[in-house]
């Protein structure tokens, strides 16, 4: 069995390695920098820069402890960016380039691939693999705002490469990227305005969105929601966004404009129509639960499918695609217990259904919500920004969703993932032993809140 994997990012490598281990002869085709979005311009560089500015915030708030004072400042932003790039280069080498020799069943080919009715053209050479997996990822989306093509703007890639900090910035997009990078630049000293059509992190619980907006505003970030973008223009070195909000036409201006309005699947130039590969309404390759496209010889995984755009889901889907493509298996893609983390501070972490999603599926739900001033860990840290909300089936008590806004909240969510995957009830979760003075104990307290007032309990009671 021969397999061609198009795309050399996390999904492509996962598919290629899995297929080679299953005995297939694999050709991995990459165009551009090896490693894809996550290691080069996405997860790795953004999270290290987010962590880099965290001491600035902590120093400013050290006085929350009596008798403590501290100060921190940006001395050399270019040095910070250079260090970030060194980490990117090291991880790309260690996790991608150096990995290839360990898998003799994988042949790496640099070039641009295009599907045809007869096979795959790579820079003019025709290949006829038995199966194909497309894993070409995604790119920054440009929102259709009049004037957007006539003004200079940053995307997440170019923003993370800035070696000097602008004085002010408009961020268009209140999703994961907009919130993460908006807060990062604000903590570094940039005057930031985050603009969005609906609300911050719109796929999350409304309670989380509202609290996150308040915390960002507390840091001096201007948050504008419910906007209808009218135009973008530039004059005198400033970019101006004109928008309509609640019927009023208004403007906001800044030195720089960052577009963080989502990602679009990289499907152009692949010859998909000629190969009979259909696209979904969202512009990604349409796949079934086995990751197979409308062409039974072609599979797809990762961001190019337009769904679940997380690096770990790309790797997961690609592994399934490889096993199904070369092994004749029918393993189904299952995202019911898929965790999501937004690396703001406090972090947003979620798994399973929101209350609205559950009700939309016809489920009679019950919810519990505790603020972090009920969790001893955060009281001890004198940082009670956030909340924990649980969603459960009212009839069966089965846990359906967990939604967290907390400092380092991403470290808490996996417990809820396991609970949902195991089909636990909220009663079982509330009866589970948790270590005291940890953030994850908040999940136990939130589960107990379905039936009791946890403020009346002693430490570790229940």
Could you report the per-residue pLDDT of 140-186, keeping only the tens digit for each? 999 999 999 999 999 999 999 999 999 999 999 999 999 999 999 99
Instruction: Judge whether 180 is annotated as a binding position.
Output: yes
User: How far is residue 352's CA from residue 414's CA, in Å, rounded to a whole number?
Assistant: 11
User: How far is residue 208's CA from residue 341's CA, in Å, rounded to a whole number?
Assistant: 13
Instruction: Judge whether 74 is annotated as a binding position.
Output: no
Mean pLDDT to the nearest integer, 271-283:
96
Instruction: Judge whether 304 is annotated as a binding position.
Output: no
Instruction: Judge whether 256 is annotated as a binding position.
Output: no
Look up residue 420 and give its two tokens: 């949902």
CA-closest candidate to residue 229, choices 303, 306, 172: 172
Contacts of 13 (CB under 8 A, 6+ apart): 28, 96, 99, 315
What confidence category does residue 230 fall into, taking pLDDT thresholds of 50, 70 and 90? very high
Instruction: Judge whether 179 is annotated as a binding position.
Output: yes
Instruction: Judge whether 389 is annotated as a binding position.
Output: no
CATH fold label, 2-35+96-140+264-327: FAD/NAD(P)-binding domain (3.50.50)
Beta bridge partners of 340: 350
Instruction: Judge whether 47 is annotated as a binding position.
Output: yes
Whether the CB-CB separation of 27 and 107 falls below 8 Å is answered with yes
Q: What's the confidence (pLDDT) of residue 462?
A: 60
Instruction: Judge whether 409 is annotated as a binding position.
Output: no
The residue with tokens 């993932």 is 417
> For residue 77, is pLDDT > 90?
yes
Question: Which residue ranges does the chain devote to CATH 3.30.390.30?
Answer: 339-454
Instruction: Judge whether 410 is annotated as a binding position.
Output: no
Collapsing DSSP to helix, strand or coil, 416 comes out as helix
Task: Give the up-direction half-sphere exposure of residue 19: CA atoms within 13 A in the CB hemisphere.
Answer: 34
Could you report the per-residue pLDDT of 363-415, keeping only the tens digit for each? 999 999 999 999 999 999 999 999 999 999 999 999 999 999 999 999 999 99
What confidence category does residue 455 fall into, taking pLDDT thresholds of 50, 70 and 90? confident
Question: Which residue ranges does the chain devote to CATH 3.50.50.60?
Answer: 2-35+96-140+264-327, 148-261
CA-closest candidate to residue 89, choices 140, 33, 154, 47: 33
The residue with tokens 């979005």 is 37
Helical H segments across 219-310, by residue range: none
Collapsing DSSP to helix, strand or coil, 231 comes out as strand
Considering only the C-alpha atoms of the chain, give the largest distance between any 2 of them, rounded to a whole number of Å: 74
Mean pLDDT to the nearest integer, 272-296:
97
Beta bridge partners of 392: 366, 399
CATH number corresponding to 339-454? 3.30.390.30
**pLDDT, mean over the chain:** 97
Instruction: Judge whether 174 is annotated as a binding position.
Output: yes
User: How far is residue 208's CA from residue 388's CA, in Å, rounded to a whole number?
Assistant: 9
Whether the CB-CB separation of 60 and 69 falls below 8 Å is answered with no
Could you report the per-residue pLDDT of 97-145, keeping only the tens digit for each? 999 999 999 999 999 999 999 999 999 999 999 999 999 999 999 999 9
User: How far is residue 84's CA from residue 295's CA, in Å, rounded to a whole number?
Assistant: 41
Q: Please report, for residues 55, 83, 307, 312, 358, the alpha-carbon distance to residue 220 in angstroms, rounded to integers and kept in the order given.
A: 17, 27, 33, 33, 35
Taking each helix axis from N to C end, the angle separating 77-95 and 43-60, rounded to the nearest 10 degrees, works out to 140
Where would I find the beta strands (DSSP E) of 17-78? Answer: 25-30
Q: What's the confidence (pLDDT) of residue 363?
A: 98
Could you report the per-residue pLDDT of 324-363, keeping only the tens digit for each? 999 999 999 999 999 999 999 999 999 999 999 999 999 9
Q: What's the confidence (pLDDT) of residue 423?
A: 98
Could you report the per-residue pLDDT of 81-91, keeping only the tens digit for each? 999 999 999 99
CATH number corresponding to 148-261? 3.50.50.60
Instruction: Judge whether 303 is annotated as a binding position.
Output: yes
What confidence category does residue 461 fall into, taking pLDDT thresholds of 50, 70 and 90? low
Neighbouring CB atoms inside 10 A of 423's CB total 10
Percentages helix, strand, coil for the chain, rounded to the nearest 5? 35, 25, 40
Mean pLDDT to the nearest integer, 7-34:
97
Q: What is the DSSP string of 299-355?
A: EE-GGGGTS---HHHHHHHHHHHHHHHHH---PPP--TT-EEEE-SSSEEEEEE--H
């Amino acid at each position: 069995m021969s397999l061609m994997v198009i795309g050399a990012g996390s999904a492509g490598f996962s598919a290629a390695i899995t297929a080679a281990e299953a005995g297939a002869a694999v050709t991995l085709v990459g165009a551009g920098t090896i490693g894809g979005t996550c290691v080069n311009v996405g997860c790795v560089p953004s999270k290290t820069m987010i962590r880099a500015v965290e001491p600035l915030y902590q120093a400013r708030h050290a006085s929350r402890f009596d008798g403590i004072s501290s100060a921190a400042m940006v001395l050399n932003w270019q040095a910070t960016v250079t260090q970030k790039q060194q980490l990117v280069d090291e991880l790309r080498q260690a996790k991608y380039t150096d990995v290839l020799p360990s898998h003799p069943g994988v042949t790496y080919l640099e070039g641009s691939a295009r599907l045809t009715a007869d096979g795959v053209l790579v820079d003019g050479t025709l290949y006829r693999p038995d199966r194909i997996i497309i894993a070409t990822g995604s790119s920054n989306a440009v929102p259709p705002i009049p004037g957007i093509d006539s003004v200079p703007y940053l995307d997440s890639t170019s923003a993370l490469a800035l070696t000097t900090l602008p004085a002010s910035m408009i961020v268009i997009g209140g999703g994961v990227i907009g919130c993460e990078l908006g807060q990062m630049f604000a903590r570094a000293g940039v005057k930031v305005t985050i603009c969005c059509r609906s609300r911050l992190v719109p796929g999350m619980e409304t309670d989380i969105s509202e609290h996150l907006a308040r915390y960002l505003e507390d840091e001096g970030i201007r948050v504008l929601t419910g906007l209808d973008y009218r135009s973008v223009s530039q004059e005198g070195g400033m970019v101006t966004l004109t928008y309509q909000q609640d019927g009023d036409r208004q403007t906001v201006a800044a030195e720089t404009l960052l577009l963080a309005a989502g990602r679009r699947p990289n499907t152009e130039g692949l010859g998909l129509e000629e190969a009979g590969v259909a696209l979904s309404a969202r512009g990604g390759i349409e796949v079934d639960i086995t990751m197979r496209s409308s062409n039974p010889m072609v599979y797809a995984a990762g961001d190019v499918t337009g769904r679940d755009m997380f690096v770990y889901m790309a790797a997961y889907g690609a592994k399934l695609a490889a096993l199904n493509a070369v092994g004749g298996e029918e393993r189904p893609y299952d995202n019911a217990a898929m965790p999501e983390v937004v690396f703001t501070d406090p972090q947003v972490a979620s798994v399973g259904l929101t209350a609205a999603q559950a009700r939309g599926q016809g489920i009679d739900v019950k919810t519990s919500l505790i603020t972090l001033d009920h969790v001893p860990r955060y009281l001890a840290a004198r940082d009670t920004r956030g909340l924990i909300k649980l969603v459960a089936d009212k009839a069966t008590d089965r846990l359906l969703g967990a939604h967290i806004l907390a400092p380092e909240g991403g470290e808490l969510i996996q417990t809820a993932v396991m609970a949902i995957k195991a089909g636990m009830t909220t009663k079982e979760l509330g009866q589970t032993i948790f270590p005291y003075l940890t953030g994850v104990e908040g999940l136990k307290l939130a589960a107990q809140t379905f039936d009791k007032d946890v403020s009346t309990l002693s430490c570790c009671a229940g």
